[in-house]
Structure formats: structure tokens, C-alpha cells
Amino acid sequence: MNAPAKLAAPIGILAELTHRCPLGCPYCSNPLALDPRVEELDAETWKRVFSEAAAAGVLHAHLSGGEPASRRDLVEIVAHCAKVGLYTNLITSGIGITPAVMARLSEAGLDHVQLSIQDADPVSADKIAGYAGGFARKREVAGLVTGAGLPLTVNAVIHRANVARAGAMVELAIALGARRVEVAHTQYYGWAMVNRAALLPSRAEAQAAIEEVERLRKLHEGRIVIDHVIPDYHARYPKACMGGWARRTLNVTPTGRVLPCHAAETIPGLEFWNVKEHSLAEIWASSPAFNAFRGTEWMREPCRSCPRKEIDFGGCRCQAMAMTGDPRQADPVCHLSPHHSAIEAALGNPASAGEVEYQYRRMVRVPAAAE
């Protein structure tokens, strides 16, 4: 399709309200250079952004971070999202959600809570998060969510330290009262790329986890919905990252930069616009970063003539950048990519368990391992 189609409206907005977080998960999707508190957008600006999002056609607002409960004005922001009709989802570690905060969030019109867990084993969970007592706190918070009558999703990121317990994490989600669980194998960007040697499971471990989760999906149908993000390193074709660049959703960073995805800033030379200078509708339609890889015109071979180009959109631009140095290349996950051997090389070198220490996510400008 070469005729310029009318630009479809965005469906979702992921708002990183803050990069502050008490946890230090080594696979965090935040950038390595975290935004400091003093530069965060204030509540009034966030409210304007959510009004603009609703007017532009956004249906889902995902309030994320960092830990969104680190902001004292979270309830005020949630109330505003509800007022402008957005389906409001809180993506939280649970830390900082007290009974009083939960009650106020529920009253403010929050629609849904997504709570992360790091493992089904408490000791391992706290080690992964770099936060003692986190596992126990999360159990309490799950009870607060369901006690408030709010639907709960549990999010579990899978990597070497917990891959043997992927099924146990699904069972834990059910025990916690979740109606839905996301089991997501780690995607290697940002902090996860820094920690890849410590996180990447073997192909056999990943495969066993996938089979176990699929077995549980059938067993628990109607009881819990399982959304399963399988590891793209083991796939034949790449994922349709974000449903295609700038096709469905936008991300807003704590300081107001608007990105097509959370890792987009790893691509050099892209110009990101900020909500302080532009409306969200203007950014969606005209921001150079959003238009850089929209559609299929930017593609090279093997994508350009590929019958799947409108299915997976060439995969992930950030992964192409990270592993080939060129964001216009096919995602190297694709077996047709001339750089596919880079994926094979990463998979062929799994360090043995426990051998590699995590570099925990924390507020420093540039961690040494990223150099």
C-alpha cells in the first residue's frame, strides 16, 4: 500500500510518571540514564497530556514508571484520567501502595492494577529486585487490590534465575486473586542488555517454561487469562514490535519527551518532541521520531520485498540498532537477516547460573557496563 493512508489515532499512552523506584530489577525497561526527580513534569502538565490523549483517541492510559506510587500526586493524576474517560491502568511494583493510597486510588476511578512479581520463590524474588522484603509486601498489595474490588493482573518477567518457576508464577498469580497474568520473557534492551549474560536462559530452559505456561493456559481457561510473551531470540521471525512503529501507542518520559517505544532513545539521530513544546496530537502526526520508521518506506532488504512486512513491520528498530548498528536493518531475530548470527552467538554463550552478578538498575547517569 503506497497511497498515504489517513493516520490512525493512537490507542494507548504509557506514561512514565517518574523514574524513581525502590526496586533495582536488572531487566528494567527504563533507559540507562534515568530522569532525575527535579526535572519531572508536574501534575498540571500531566493532566493536560491526558486530556490531549483522550481527545486524540487514546483509550488506555498506563501509569507507569519507575514506581508511579513514588509520586505524591498519583491519586490526583488518576482522578483526572478517569474524568476524561481514559481506561486507567496502574503499573506498579506495589512498594509505596499503602491501604490508604489503595483506597484513594480506587475511589479516584482507577480501572485496573498490574503488579509485578519477580519470582515465586521469596528469597530469589527479593534478590532479583534488589529489595529485601519486597515479595512479602507484594502479597499484601495484591490483597489490597482485590480487596478494593479492582481487577488485578500479575506481571512476571522471565529470565535465567526464575525460568524454572514460570509455571509456579502463574499459580502464584491465581493464588493472589489475579484475573490475568502476563508472562513475559525478557527483551534485551537498556538494563536487560547490560545484564544479558546474567539473564539469558538456555534454549532448553526457555522452551520448557513456554510449554509449562501453555499447559497451564489450557488447564486454567476461564479462571485466569494468560498473556504470554515468548522470547524473541528463539523465534524464526521477529515480533511486530509495538504493533509497528508509531502505529498504536506512545510513551511519555518523566520529563515529557514523547517516544514511539520505551527504548527509542537508543537510536541515535532521532528528534523527539516534548509535551512542554507541542500538543500530543501534533507529536503523533508530525514528530520526526514518529515518522522515521512509520509504514514500510524506510525498509531495506530483506524486509522491503518481504510478504510479512505488514505483519511484523521488520521487527524491532531498537534491536536492529543494538545488534547491527543500523536501525533500518531487519531485526536480527529474523532468520532472513544477514546479521542473524549475532543472535546465535548470544545464545551459544550462556554463562553458567550464578556466575554473573547483576548490575542493578539505579539512578546513575551512565553505568560502566554500558560504555
Partner 1 sequence: MSAETIAIAEEVRPRLPRGVRLRHDETRREWTLLAPERVLKADRIAVEILKRCTGEKTLREIVDELTAAYGADRARVDTDVRALLAQLVAKRMVDL
Chain position carrying cell 500538543: 279
Nearest distance from C-beta of residue 81 to partner 1, angstroms: 13
- Residues whose CB is less than 8 angstroms from the CB of residue 75 and which lie 6 or more positions away in sequence, other chains included: 101, 104, 105, 108
Q: Which amino acid is at 341?
A: S
Candidate residues 69, 128, 206, 224; the one interacting with partner 1 per rule CB under 8 A: 224
- Residues whose CB is less than 8 angstroms from the CB of residue 203 and which lie 6 or more positions away in sequence, other chains included: 234, 347
Nearest distance from C-beta of residue 88 to partner 1, angstroms: 10
Candidate residues 36, 122, 143, 151; the one interacting with partner 1 per rule CB under 8 A: 151
Q: Which amino acid is at 174?
A: I
DSSP string computed for 198-257: HHPPPHHHHHHHHHHHHHHHHHTTTT-EEEEE--GGG-SS---GGGSTTTSEEEE-TT-B
What sections of the chain are H helices per DSSP? Answer: 43-55, 74-83, 99-108, 122-129, 134-147, 166-175, 190-194, 196-199, 203-219, 280-286, 288-292, 309-312, 317-324, 341-348
Residues binding partner 1: number (CB under 8 A): 24
Nearest distance from C-beta of residue 120 to partner 1, angstroms: 21
Nearer residue to partner 1 within complex by CB, 224 or 252: 224
- Cell numbers that stand for 154 in this block: 500479575
Q: Counting contacts by CB under 8 A, is residue 251 touching partner 1?
A: no
Candidate residues 18, 70, 89, 92; the one interacting with partner 1 per rule CB under 8 A: 89
Candidate residues 87, 237, 272, 298; the one interacting with partner 1 per rule CB under 8 A: 87
Nearest distance from C-beta of residue 134 to partner 1, angstroms: 23
What is the rounded CA–CA span in Å between residue 194 and residue 33?
Answer: 13
Q: Counting contacts by CB under 8 A, is residue 225 touching partner 1?
A: yes
Nearer residue to partner 1 within complex by CB, 223 or 276: 223
Interface mask (CB under 8 A) for partner 1, residues 54-83, using x and -?
A: --xx-xx-----------------------
Nearest distance from C-beta of residue 219 to partner 1, angstroms: 11
Nearest distance from C-beta of residue 112 to partner 1, angstroms: 5
Binders of partner 1 among residues 99 to 138 (CB under 8 A) are: 111-112, 114
Contacts with partner 1, residue ranges (CB under 8 A): 9, 11, 56-57, 59-60, 85, 87, 89, 111-112, 114, 149-151, 153, 179-180, 182, 221-222, 224-225, 227
